[in-house]
């Protein structure tokens, strides 16, 4: 293995919901059902615009934005979620953007409120996303304003609670601490919100916390998502594979 | 004969669409998604070629898998109950089942319900064991089998009453 993958084993390449048959079926359903959510989606968009404008007006640097391609680290692509599931132990979502739009395996997917998952397969027009609510999911995360990082997993119990592991016991934790994505992976940019600490346990003999994180995202009610492309990922992967090659 | 095949084909497509577009999104109590496509095996003619039956059931399971990203768990569970359908019917309907003239509609309501329960219980046990795939979570498997099973049974029973062709 050259790179750390989002999954522990290779799933079938063709029998996933990103193929054209299920893509067309789910897309036509979405064309109908999306009308019923328009009002709700509008208010979500307004809220997000509000947040972004707030950020924009409070920026302290010059008024011109650098658009030099060398300085752009990430690209964002908007997509519609046409199929969602959260009741299984391995949940997948389907979006209506695929390799024709530049979506490929191991790209991060988020919504306006928080993290969603990682692209597992992409066909021409659709992509299947491994949700954070998946027992194979393993995402680098950290506590906001510190550099203590761990990995985000899911124990299948609740669809609004995920687990953060490998946070050492010397860290002082409080209920309500915000959890964000860490800088250790090339999939997500650092600082994407994930959730807040609901409760945590520390066994006397254990050296790591068991932390329950309440997700910001309402995983049962999703309609739009953003796919993130890390433009420096090929370089990072090349570097990592070089190190591994040298070790062999 | 030809009419039966067309009917089976229509049933195949409609059950898949109903399953993936309606029942997979039901999420009753957060996780109960009834698997109504089991009705395909309930309604399938009794005296049919067994190989064709197993193949069709495999395709049915695989199609559901394709839509719901479950690798091939639905296919495995569906083929298993397709394989055991004969013995189950012999167990439930007794010696009547052996006769050439036997039809499902002739059996009593209790017998039909028992047959349906057996199909659902076997299917769900295999499905959730494969899905969760850990004996450490045996209680979770039991919970999911029982609760989803009840949901499936209720909906399948309603479908049976709605669409059974032989009314008294």
- Residue-wise pLDDT for A166-187, tens only, equals 999 888 899 999 999 998 888 9
Task: State the total domains in chain B.
Answer: 1
Percentage of residues in chain B with pLDDT exceeding 90? 65
Look at the alpha carbons of B50, B52, B58, B60 in this order and tell me if their dihedral is positive or negative. negative
Identify the band that residue A232 occupies on the pLDDT scale cut at 50, 70 and 90.
confident
Given this model, what pLDDT does residue A103 score? Answer: 93
Instruction: Kindly report the CATH class assigned to A139-215.
Output: mainly beta
The answer to whether the CB atoms of B70 and A88 lie below 8 A apart is yes
Mean local confidence (pLDDT), A189-213: 91
Given this model, what pLDDT does residue B102 score? Answer: 80
Q: How many Å separate Cα A212 from the centre of its chain? A: 18
User: SS in 3 state form for A110-162?
Assistant: ECCCCEEEEEEEECCCCEEEEEEEECCCCEEEEECCCCCEEEEECCCCCCCEE
| Contact list, A85 vs chain B (CB under 8 Å) | 24-25, 68-69
In a domain, B168, yes or no: no
Its pTM stands at 0.85
B7 part of contact set with chain A, CB < 8 Å:
no
Given this model, what pLDDT does residue A57 score? Answer: 87
> What is the token pair recorded at A98?
């695929």
Q: For chain A, first and last CA: distance in Å?
A: 12
In a domain, B114, yes or no: yes
A39-48: long-range contacts, CB 8 A cutoff, minimum separation 24: A41/A223, A41/A224, A44/A112, A45/A112, A47/A112, A48/A112
Q: Which CATH number fits domain A20-57+73-135+219-247: 2.40.10.340, 2.10.109.10, 3.40.630.30, 1.10.150.170?
A: 2.40.10.340
B59 part of contact set with chain A, CB < 8 Å:
no
Interface test with A, best of B16, B17, B60, B69 (most A CBs within 10 A): B69
Mean local confidence (pLDDT), A43-61: 87
Q: Show the domain range for B156.
A: 2-163
Of A71-75, A129-133, B46-50, where does the model show the most confidence? A129-133
CA dist list (Å): A153 to A121, A204, B151 = 20, 22, 29
- Residue-wise pLDDT for B88-144, tens only, equals 999 998 877 777 778 887 888 899 999 999 999 999 999 999 998 888 889 999 999
The answer to whether the CB atoms of B30 and A159 lie below 8 A apart is yes
| Contact list, B29 vs chain A (CB under 8 Å) | none
Q: Where are the domains of chain A?
A: 20-57+73-135+219-247, 139-215
CB pairs under 8 A between A and B: 54
Identify the band that residue B2 occupies on the pLDDT scale cut at 50, 70 and 90.
confident
What are φ and ψ of residue A116, in 5° steps?
-125, -50
């Amino acid at each position: 293995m050259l790179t750390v993958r989002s999954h522990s084993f290779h799933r079938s390449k063709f029998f996933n919901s990103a193929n054209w048959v299920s893509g067309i079926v789910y897309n036509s359903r979405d064309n109908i059902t999306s009308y019923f959510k328009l009002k709700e989606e509008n208010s979500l968009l307004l809220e997000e615009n509000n947040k972004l404008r707030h950020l924009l007006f409070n920026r302290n640097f010059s008024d011109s934005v650098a658009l030099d391609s060398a300085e752009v680290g990430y690209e964002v692509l908007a997509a519609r979620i046409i199929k969602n599931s959260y009741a299984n132990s391995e949940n997948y979502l389907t979006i209506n953007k695929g390799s024709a739009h530049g979506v490929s395996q191991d790209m991060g997917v988020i919504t306006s409120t928080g993290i969603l998952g990682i692209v597992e397969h992409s066909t021409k027009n659709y992509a299947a996303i491994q949700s954070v609510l998946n027992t194979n999911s393993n995402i680098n995360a950290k506590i906001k304003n510190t550099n203590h990082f761990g990995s985000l997993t899911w124990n299948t119990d609740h669809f609004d609670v995920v687990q953060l592991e490998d946070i050492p016991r010397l860290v002082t934790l409080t209920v309500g601490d915000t959890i964000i994505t860490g800088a250790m992976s090339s999939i997500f940019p650092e600082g994407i919100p994930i959730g807040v600490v609901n409760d945590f346990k520390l066994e006397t003999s254990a050296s790591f916390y068991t932390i329950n994180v309440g997700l910001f995202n309402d995983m049962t009610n999703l309609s739009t998502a953003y796919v993130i492309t890390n433009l420096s990922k090929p370089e990072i992967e090349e570097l990592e594979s070089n190190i591994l090659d040298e070790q062999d | 004969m030809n009419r039966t095949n067309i009917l089976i084909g229509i049933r195949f497509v409609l059950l898949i669409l109903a399953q993936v577009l309606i029942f997979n999104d039901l999420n009753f109590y957060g996780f109960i998604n009834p698997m109504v496509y089991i009705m395909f095996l309930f309604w399938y003619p009794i005296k049919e070629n067994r190989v064709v039956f197993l193949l069709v059931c495999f395709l049915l399971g695989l199609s559901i898998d394709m839509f719901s990203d479950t690798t091939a768990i639905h296919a495995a569970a569906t083929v298993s109950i397709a394989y055991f359908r004969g013995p189950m019917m012999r167990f439930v309907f007794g010696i009547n089942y052996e006769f050439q003239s036997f039809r499902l509609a002739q059996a009593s309501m209790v017998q039909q319900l028992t047959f349906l329960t057996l199909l659902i219980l076997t299917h769900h046990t295999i499905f959730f064991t494969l899905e969760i795939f850990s004996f450490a979570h045996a209680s979770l498997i039991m919970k999911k089998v029982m609760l989803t099973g009840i949901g499936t049974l209720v909906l399948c029973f309603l479908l049976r009453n709605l669409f059974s062709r032989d009314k008294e």
